[in-house]
């Protein structure tokens, strides 16, 4: 299945504040395929929460087109604004689950009642609502806390109740707005695994808003990076990680930037004419190849490892290696060709990147 379940086209969100105009989202287009886990990363204030609220019209955009699961929710193109009818929107919203950083559970209602609240307008009978709510709590592993009030639950448990509530109307989309940002690492991993599991088992499309790259690394299939209301880079998780283009993306991806910071302290002046720093990125089974030895044997190029790191993206390990390669220019060139033929991404670290900004 590869049709788009969410299509945001040329979305603008502008807030009017007295005599100041704030452009929270600027001309953003984002298409998300059914069954995807799409990570949207950026610092707070980048506009990611605003953008994602456009999907269920919690935030009505100023311009653009919002199409979800075949229904046009909003369109304002060429000055003609149409918004989906209110009661229809409510129905459609039930098919778009949403979870939040601060859980936002009804604090005066028990875990079970919170889930039942979501089913208030379903066609189920009272007994069936109760049964379904209990089943949902079971799904998130909290059937024994059904009678507890949110304040009696831990953060991770509250978020799981929120997930059960968000799933109550069998949605096809789940929006997670910084849902793990208030949780400790252990709970974060549990929640992310739960989301991934729901994605695999129910085919749920997940939008993951976060400022934590680790969360995205763990579960996302596609990633978009936002800055100042715009998407500055997007692609598959692998692309974004192995070939980040924008500075901010590199910052988020970490690893290489940390390495570069470390390299700055290196005395580059000490590099000889025949030396050059390169970054090698390789995926999966390439990691086990004895590359440095091959370089020396076959190309007479020495490779001195100065930084290395392995990360797991989804399920594939991705290795990063910063090496100083030493050899005649011609030999170095051949070596690079060899590496690229092997499927290794070779990135020349220019001296400019290493100088202080």
Strand 173-177 relative to strand 96-100, pairing = parallel
Query: Is the Cβ–Cβ distance between 185 and 149 less than 8 Å?
Result: no
Q: Which of 156, 166, 226, 167 is nearest to 193 (CA)?
A: 156
Q: State the Cα–Cα distance between residues 189 and 72, nearest whole angstrom.
A: 35
Q: Is residue 347 a contact residue for another protein (CB under 8 A)?
A: no
Give backbone dihedrals phi and psi of 284, rounded to 5 degrees, phi first: 60, -130
In the complex with another protein, the residue whose CB is nearer, 74 or 100, is 100
Task: Using the rule CB under 8 A, give the single segment among 24-32, 164-172, 209-217, 323-331 that binds another protein.
Answer: 164-172
Q: How far apart are CA 63 and CA 9, in angstroms?
A: 9
Q: Which is nearer to another protein, 93 or 217 (CB)?
A: 93
Q: Tell me if 149 contacts another protein by CB under 8 A.
A: yes
**Sheet-wide strand order for 20-33:** 20-33, 4-17, 63-68, 71-77, 80-83
User: Does residue 255 interact with another protein by CB under 8 A?
Assistant: no
Q: Binding to another protein (CB under 8 A): which residues in 105-134?
A: 105-109, 117-118, 120-121
Which is it for the CA torsion 333, 291, 323, 353, positive or negative?
A: positive
Q: Which is nearer to another protein, 44 or 107 (CB)?
A: 107
Asked if 165 is part of the footprint of another protein (rule: CB under 8 A), the reply reads yes
Nearer to another protein, 53 or 218 (CB): 53
**Residue 90 interacts with another protein (CB under 8 A): yes or no:** yes
Which of 121, 247 has the CB closer to another protein? Answer: 121
**Residues 302-316, buried b or exposed e (16+ Cβ, 10 A)?**
ebeeebeeebebbee
Output 151 or 315, the one with its CB closest to another protein: 151
Kindly write out the interface string for residues 49-88 of this chain, putting x where it contacts another protein by CB under 8 A and - elsewhere. -------x-x------------------------------
Q: State yes or no: residue 344 binds another protein (CB under 8 A).
A: no
3-state secondary structure of 336: helix
- Nearer of residues 147 and 246 to another protein, judged by Cβ: 147
**24 and 16 Cβ atoms separated by less than 8 Å:** no
In whole angstroms, how close is the CB of 180 to another protein at the nearest point? 16
Would you count residue 98 as binding another protein (CB under 8 A)?
yes
The residue among 158 and 199 lying less far from another protein, judged by its C-beta, is: 158
Q: Are 116 and 130 in contact (CB under 8 A)?
A: yes
| Residue 22 interacting with another protein (CB under 8 A) | no
| Residue 284 DSSP symbol | G
**CB of 190 vs another protein, minimal distance in Å:** 21
Among 4, 12, 62, 104, binds another protein (CB under 8 A): 104
Query: In the chain, where does DSSP find H-type helix?
Result: 48-53, 86-93, 111-118, 126-139, 155-166, 185-202, 213-219, 237-242, 247-253, 256-264, 291-299, 329-341, 351-354
Kindly tell me which residue out of 54, 162, 224, 277 binds another protein, with binding defined by CB under 8 A: 162
Q: Does 47 bind another protein (CB under 8 A)?
A: no
Q: Which residues bind another protein (CB under 8 A)?
A: 56, 58, 90-94, 96-98, 100, 102, 104-109, 117-118, 120-121, 149-152, 162, 165-166, 168-169, 175
């Amino acid at each position: 299945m590869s049709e788009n379940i969410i299509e945001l086209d040329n979305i603008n969100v502008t807030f009017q504040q007295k005599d100041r105009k704030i452009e929270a989202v600027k001309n953003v287009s984002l298409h998300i395929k059914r069954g995807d886990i799409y990570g949207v990363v950026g610092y707070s204030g980048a506009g990611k929460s605003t953008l994602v609220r456009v999907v269920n019209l919690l935030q009505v955009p100023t311009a653009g087109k919002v199409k979800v699961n075949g229904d046009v929710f909003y369109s304002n193109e060429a000055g003609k604004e149409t918004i989906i009818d209110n009661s229809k929107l409510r129905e459609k919203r039930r098919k778009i689950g949403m979870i939040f950083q601060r859980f936002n559970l009804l604090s005066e209602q028990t875990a079970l009642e919170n889930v039942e609240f979501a089913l208030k307008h379903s066609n189920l009978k009272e007994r069936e609502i109760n049964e379904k709510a209990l089943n949902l709590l079971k799904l998130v592993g909290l059937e024994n806390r059904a009678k507890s009030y949110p304040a009696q639950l831990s953060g991770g448990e509250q978020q799981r109740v929120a997930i059960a509530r968000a799933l109550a109307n069998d949605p096809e989309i789940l929006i997670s707005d910084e849902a793990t940002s208030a949780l400790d690492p252990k709970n974060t991993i549990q929640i992310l695994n739960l989301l991934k599991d729901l994605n695999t088992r129910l085919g749920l499309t997940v939008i993951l808003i976060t400022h934590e790259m680790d969360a995205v690394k763990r579960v996302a299939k596609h990633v978009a990076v936002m800055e100042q209301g715009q998407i500055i880079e997007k692609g598959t998780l692998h692309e974004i990680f192995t070939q980040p283009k924008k500075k901010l993306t590199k910052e988020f991806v970490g690893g290489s930037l940390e390495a570069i910071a470390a390299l700055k302290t290196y005395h580059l002046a000490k590099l000889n004419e025949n030396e050059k720093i390169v970054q090698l990125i390789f995926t999966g089974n390439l990691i086990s190849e004895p590359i440095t030895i091959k370089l020396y044997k076959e190309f007479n190029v020495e490779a001195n490892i100065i930084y290395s790191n392995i990360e797991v993206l989804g399920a594939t390990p991705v290795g990063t290696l910063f090496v100083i390669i030493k050899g005649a220019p011609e030999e170095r060139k051949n070596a690079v060709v060899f590496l690229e033929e092997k499927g290794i991404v070779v990135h020349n670290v220019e001296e400019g990147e290493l100088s202080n900004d």
